[in-house]
Amino acid sequence: MSEDVIYALFIAPLGGTPALYTSMFGIGLVALLVYSSTIMKEAITRLEVIGALLIVLGTLTIGSEGIFRPAVVLARMDVTGTVVALCMVLGLGGVCMACTSKRGTQNAIGLTFGLFAGACGGLDPFLKAVGQSQGGANHAVPHTALGWTLFAGSFVVGFLAFLITQWGYVRRARASVLVPAYNCTYVGLPVVLQVLLLPGYGFYWTTAVGIGLIMLGIVLM
């Protein structure tokens, strides 16, 4: 969560979108596979390696696309839609996590907890950026009451992402499953939300390719 504070204070005021920031996160999967294999002694299959590489490739595609996109105005983000998306993610994720925690396998727990935690993690910088942009421009700190509410809420969902991740490990979720699942929604959700809620943020063929690679990678893993 500390890196999201760095994003909020230094990157967002310069005009960087949340999706551009979160899209870089999947690169750490390579280190994860090495850690899972050598330190945690988890068996890594060839399909898991291929899946991780596809997620990294999809991450790079989304990140590279974001660099060359035309500038957008974050102050035009649909705030009502943002709140609805937040409630839907929390509600659906909570139900799925509760069901999987009781009867799911290790891999199912890792997948469900990872996807939910990643969604919360992706909403953290997203809510920060929307909050900072209220008032017509990007600021290091919000300038309106609504902006402060969204900004404060981002810390709540960010901490929730941390709690869900740790709970997943307590439930014996495999790191080689939970973390790629986390990366999947952490990278993908802000892109989808910006396409739906931010005027001028288009859906390109590279967007489809990047998200498709990420989805295929998580299926293989």
The pLDDT assigned to 2 comes to 47
DSSP state of 8: I
Amino acid (1-letter code) at residue 35: Y
Rounded Cα distance between 206 and 115, Å, is 23
CA distance 44 to 144: 49
- pLDDT tens-digit series, residues 70-92: 777 777 888 899 999 999 999 99
Q: What pTM does this model have?
A: 0.77
Task: Give which of 69, 201, 75 is closest to 138, Cα–Cα.
Answer: 75
Reported as a pLDDT band with limits 50, 70 and 90, residue 211 is confident
Q: Encode pLDDT of 89-112 as tens digits.
A: 999 998 988 888 777 788 888 889
Q: Are 195 and 207 in contact (CB under 8 A)?
A: yes
Structure tokens at 123: 């909403």
Q: Which residues contact 175 (CB under 8 A, 6 or more apart)?
A: 32, 35, 36, 40, 42, 110, 169
Please state which of the ranges 8-17, 192-201, 203-212 shows the lowest mean pLDDT: 8-17
| Cβ-Cβ contacts under 8 Å for 60 (sequence gap 6 or more) | 27
Q: What is the pLDDT of residue 126?
A: 86
| Res 156: pLDDT | 92
Q: Return d(Cα 4, Cα 51) in angstroms, integer.
A: 26
What's the chain's average pLDDT? 80
> Under a CB-based contact definition with an 8 Å cutoff, are residues 118 and 180 in contact?
no
